[in-house]
């Protein structure tokens, strides 16, 4: 008997820590257990795939510049079928964009269950909550509330940054949104036990119509790219590949706001830190990308006032000294991005 391929879907708002939790699961799985990650993100910067390449993932496929629970849903289906054909993994992890609504995505996977005679099968929807910032971004994003409401498990991340009283209030609030779903505190960098999020055999979204859950979630988040280096020469169009070359569906970058310079030189880390510290957590929710510092190329992850830098052993492809995707409140984020770009002598890419 051939085992089916279970699919675990990770949702959660921008910066909640989905990638870190996924990567923390891998060392706790058997050495011969093959996992492929299908990743969906805003912008065209393949940041998390660079991190994932340093892990034990069998492969990474990345769908960019759109949300695969709506406008890119066909690409998700094709990517899953290709992963099945090419890798035949023990499990597929799907990491959704920060504004993805789980219901419509799960319905598409349910359709694939029928089309593949249950060879591809939804195992669980898992929602990651940023304990420190959930109250703030839930007020801004109806999708964040939906992510916590329609899920098989809620992982409470970054709880160590708040008081016990604040954590109790958060859990009480989550219970008002979803009182039947388990809520588990992540073990800081160790994440969670795989048994908590795997083998759940989800019963969600088996009945009804996805139209019942539709929301204009893709309008909540606006993305802007800033770049420092030689002018980008054009788009890099992917082909749905599920290997380490990554599936990239990127827009052409042709119009540059010359508030900065075409400069490939290194960026002083102190200058970067100062510029990030000036960002508003109210209008900017996430900054991701690559920066070239004195010590070499790094991946930058910034979310709600906190940032970390992860060094890379080699320079990413097609990247100047700075290439960042900034995500935030529609209508407000671009004003903040102009200040950030000016502070690090970068250009805004339209």
Q: Is 235 inside any structural domain?
A: no
Q: Is 271 inside any structural domain?
A: yes
Could you tell me where the DSSP H helices lie in the chain? 18-25, 47-53, 73-87, 102-115, 134-140, 142-149, 164-177, 194-197, 269-277, 333-343
- For residue 176, report the phi and psi dihedrals to the nearest 5 degrees: -70, -30
User: Is 178 found in the same domain as 78?
Assistant: yes
Structure token pair of residue 245: 């070359």
Count structural domains, the chain: 2
User: Is 176 found in the same domain as 300?
Assistant: no
Helix, strand and coil percent figures for the chain, each rounded to 5:
30, 25, 40
Mode of pairing for the β-strands spanning 59-64 and 256-257: unpaired
User: Is 41 found in the same domain as 165?
Assistant: yes
Q: Is 254 inside any structural domain?
A: no
pLDDT along the chain (350 residues), means of 10: 85 86 90 90 60 71 56 71 94 83 80 93 92 71 75 91 91 87 83 86 58 47 82 43 34 38 76 91 79 89 80 76 83 85 87
User: Is 30 found in the same domain as 107?
Assistant: yes
Distance from C-alpha of 232 to C-alpha of 268, rounded to nearest angstrom: 22
User: Is 158 found in the same domain as 14?
Assistant: yes
- Within a 13 Å sphere around the CA of 38, how many CA atoms are in the beta-carbon half? 29
Q: Is 239 inside any structural domain?
A: no
Q: 76 — alpha (psi -120 to 50), left (phi > 0) or beta? A: alpha
User: Is 9 found in the same domain as 88?
Assistant: yes
User: Is 183 found in the same domain as 302?
Assistant: no
How many other β-carbons are positioned within 10 Å of the β-carbon of residue 155? Answer: 24
Rounded to 5°, the CA angle 251-252-256 comes to 120
How many other β-carbons are positioned within 10 Å of the β-carbon of residue 231? Answer: 13
Q: Is 62 helix (H, G, I), strand (E, B) or coil?
A: strand
User: Is 18 found in the same domain as 113?
Assistant: yes
User: Is 184 found in the same domain as 226?
Assistant: no
Q: Is 19 inside any structural domain?
A: yes
- For residue 327, report the phi and psi dihedrals to the nearest 5 degrees: -120, 140
Residue ending a domain, among 179, 196, 213, is: 196
Residue 141: the pLDDT is 63
Can you give the residue range of the structural domain that contains 292?
Answer: 221-230+263-349
Q: Are 305 and 130 in contact (CB under 8 A)?
A: no
The domain spanning residue 175 has which CATH number? Answer: 3.40.50.300
Q: Is 303 inside any structural domain?
A: yes
Rounded to 5°, the CA angle 131-134-137 comes to 155
Residue ending a domain, among 181, 196, 211, is: 196
User: Is 30 found in the same domain as 177?
Assistant: yes
Residue 81: the pLDDT is 93
Q: How far apart are the first and last CA of the chain?
A: 52
Residue 229: the pLDDT is 84
Residue 76: the pLDDT is 83
Residue 42: the pLDDT is 60
- Total H helices, total E strands in the chain: 10, 14
Residue 340: the pLDDT is 92
User: Is 226 found in the same domain as 170?
Assistant: no
Structure token pair of residue 191: 């994440």
Q: Is 249 inside any structural domain?
A: no
The domain spanning residue 283 has which CATH number? Answer: 3.30.1220
Residue indicated by tokens 């054909």: 85
Q: Is 206 inside any structural domain?
A: no
User: Is 191 found in the same domain as 278?
Assistant: no
């Amino acid at each position: 008997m051939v085992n089916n391929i279970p699919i675990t879907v990770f949702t959660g708002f921008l910066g909640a820590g989905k990638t870190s939790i996924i990567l923390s699961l891998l060392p706790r799985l058997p050495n011969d257990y093959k996992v492929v990650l299908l990743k969906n993100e805003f912008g065209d910067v393949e940041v998390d795939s660079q991190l994932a390449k340093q892990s034990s993932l069998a492969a990474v496929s990345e769908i960019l510049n759109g949300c695969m629970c709506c406008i890119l849903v066909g690409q998700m289906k094709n990517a899953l079928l290709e992963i099945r054909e090419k890798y035949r993994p023990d499990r597929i992890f799907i990491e959704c964009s920060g504004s993805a609504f789980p219901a419509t995505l799960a319905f598409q996977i349910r359709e694939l269950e029928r089309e593949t005679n249950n060879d591809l099968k939804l195992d669980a929807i898992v929602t990651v909550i940023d304990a420190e910032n959930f109250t703030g971004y839930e007020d801004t994003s109806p999708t964040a509330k939906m992510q916590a409401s329609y899920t098989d498990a809620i992982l409470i991340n970054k709880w160590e940054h708040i008081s016990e009283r604040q954590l109790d209030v958060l859990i009480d609030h989550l219970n008002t949104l979803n009182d039947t779903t388990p809520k588990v505190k992540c073990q800081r960098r160790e994440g969670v036990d795989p048994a908590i999020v795997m083998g759940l055999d989800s019963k969600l979204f088996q009945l009804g119509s996805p139209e019942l859950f539709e929301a204009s979630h893709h309008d909540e988040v606006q993305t802007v790219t800033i770049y420092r280096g030689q002018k980008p020469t054009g788009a890099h169009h992917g082909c749905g590949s599920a290997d380490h070359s990554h599936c990239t569906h990127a827009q052409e970058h042709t119009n540059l706001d010359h508030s900065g310079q075409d400069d490939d030189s290194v960026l002083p880390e102190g200058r970067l830190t100062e510029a990030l510290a000036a960002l508003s957590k109210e209008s900017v929710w996430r900054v991701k990308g690559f920066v070239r510092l004195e010590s070499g190329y790094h991946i930058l992850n910034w979310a709600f006032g906190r940032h970390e830098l992860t060094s890379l052993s080699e320079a990413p492809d097609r990247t100047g000294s700075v290439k960042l995707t900034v995500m935030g409140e529609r209508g407000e984020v671009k004003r903040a991005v102009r200040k950030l770009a000016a502070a690090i002598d970068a250009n805004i890419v339209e």
